[in-house]
Amino acid sequence: MADTRNHSAAPVAVRLGARDVAKSYGAVQANSGITLEVAPAEIHAIVGENGAGKSTLMRLLQGLEQPDAGSIVFNDRPIRLRDPEQALGLGIGMVHQEFMLAPELTLLENFVLGHEPVTAALPLGRRIDWRAARAAGDALAAKTDLAIDWDRRAGTAPVHIQQYTEILRLLQRGMKVLILDEPTAVLAPQQADDLFMLLRQLRDQGTSIVFISHKLREVIALADRVTIMRRGRVVSSSRIGETDIDTMTRHIVGEAASVAPPAAAVRAAAGEPVLEVSGLSAPALAGSHPVRAVDLRVRAGEIVGMAGIAGNGQDEFIECVVGLRKPSSGTVRLKGHALAGCDNADFRAAGLGYISPDRAHEGLAKAASIEDNVMAASQRAPAFRRGPFRRLGAVRAEAFRRLSQLKVRFGRLSDPVASLSGGNQQRLVFAREIATEPALLVVAQPTRGVDLGGIAAIHAILREFAARGGAVLLVSEELDELIALSDRIVVMAEGGIVGEIADETATPEAIGRLMLQQDSHKEAANG
């Protein structure tokens, strides 16, 4: 007799995960005994300091690399992911921090790129069915309550629209799992709120979401579950209602570690203007906004923060202020010296220190030694020369003093600077830039890629520098950082300063409203 019992499949418990996964690179154990379980229709946050092993685990979950031991799990079954194409075929897609769109193509062309709908065979052969492509895009956008101008070129679209296009492109391919790597890094708070609404909607429709972030408040606000990694291992995994920010912080840095901010240095009242920018305009970099007639002053002993969504002219403005780019009009004065159009060496001679947002390619010479990096631009100073020769002992003593002062952890001065952790690399850059007590320190994205302990140390360095009378222009995409450090915050949107907020009234929401202002509001905002 035939078996007529119901053999319907049991519900899936683990949509995507790992079971006792290990991965090493030479002597470095990147992942050790990792077990991760992401349930269907769940937003699962993964947090941890740099070097905790998150990136390695994501590469394994995408099939970019293979584990040395253990297995990847999909729909409750162990699988071997040969490559990212197989992962996509199973329904595992990732939105990277650096978007994967072709900037010269339209959003619609990017939406279907690689999986274009085609017409039936015609006398002239098959071709892309753009009507079907647009219909699919419109239907998916409507389903997720999004408005997309499909004819806009991707490189000119706002960053949140680019991000939405990446998500919709993956959804169109039937993704069951979305992995998002630091998705709010370039968003204003209101745009992050909109993204969270979309992610919750996708979860409610059955999509599993892996949310990688270092912003613990966002994790608490969004995630259903959080897994914390430290030194290549999972140290905690819990429902979000069973934890809090303090508990997560202790797991991230270790029970014995402390990331409490040091007591704020006593700050004197702001003194005379150190930086004076008037009517500064500059052409745009690719995909950004030109700078339009910006006026700005930074006084001695003052930290002025600059906020703005990426691509709104901040990079161009900073390059003009530090002498890396010539403005098309306007003036830059540093301690009264007119410098617009001069080169970076003239700016430094006038009292400039500069922390680049890209330490890997601009702030450091990665192949050079720790000593050469921390002493760059100082080795020709009279104190380190005897005639045509360098005083090697004096150079090394000063390098050691600079590194020790900022508590940079290193082996030997002759080791390559690439041997340092990200946080220690950034401390080294600060050690070099403040060693000569510049009048102005221009700091861009100072804690990008830095762990919690390093962030606290860098914030202390900036507070102490300002307490000694130094002027600081701080550009950051981290609004909490700007609020914590700045005496006042100016906001750039579409190439101009659209408003200013004093520290006592600064909130992420107030800053975000200015970040999203349109041209029609600028005149009123500038007064």
Q: What is the DSSP string of 459-499?
A: HHHHHHHHHTT-EEEEE-S-HHHHHHH-SEEEEEETTEEEE
Give the phi and the psi of residue 43 in degrees, each rounded to 5. -100, 115
Q: Which CATH architecture group holds 258-351+438-527?
A: 3-Layer(aba) Sandwich (3.40)
Residue 359: Cβ within 10 Å count: 21
List the one residue out of 238, 255, 299, 248 whose CA is nearest residue 274. Answer: 299
* Residue 71 banded pLDDT, cuts 50, 70, 90: very high
pLDDT at 266 over 80: no
pLDDT at residue 3 in the model:
43
Confidence of residue 492 (pLDDT cuts 50, 70, 90): very high
**pLDDT for 524 beyond 50:** no
User: What's the pLDDT score for residue 384?
Assistant: 80
Quickly list DSSP for 304-323. EEEE--TTSSHHHHHHHHTT
Between strands 233-239 and 385-386, the pairing is: unpaired
Taking 80 as the threshold, does the pLDDT of residue 286 lie above it? no
Comparing 349 with 380, the larger pLDDT belongs to 349
pLDDT one-digit tens code per residue, 201-238: 999 999 999 999 888 999 999 999 999 999 899 999 99
CA distances (Å), 198 to each of 111, 146, 232, 364, in order?
Answer: 18, 9, 31, 39
What's the CATH number of domain 16-253, 3.40.50.300, 3.50.50.60, 3.40.50.720, 1.10.3720.10?
3.40.50.300
- The structure tokens listed for 452 are 């919690």
Common-topology check for domains 16-253 and 258-351+438-527: yes
Q: Which of 239-248, 310-319, 338-347 has the lowest mean pLDDT?
A: 338-347
Taking the CA atoms of the chain, what radius of gyration do you get in angstroms? 26
Residue 8 has pLDDT above 60, yes or no: no
What's the mean pLDDT in 296-301? 96
Tell me how far apart the 2 most distant CA atoms of the chain are, in Å.
Answer: 103
Euclidean distance between CA atoms 188 and 181, whole angstroms: 16
pLDDT at 377: 80
Domain ranges of the chain: 16-253, 258-351+438-527, 359-436
Bridge partners, 94 (sequence order): 179
User: What pLDDT was estimated at residue 124?
Assistant: 62
* Stated pTM of the model: 0.74
pLDDT above 80 for 419: yes
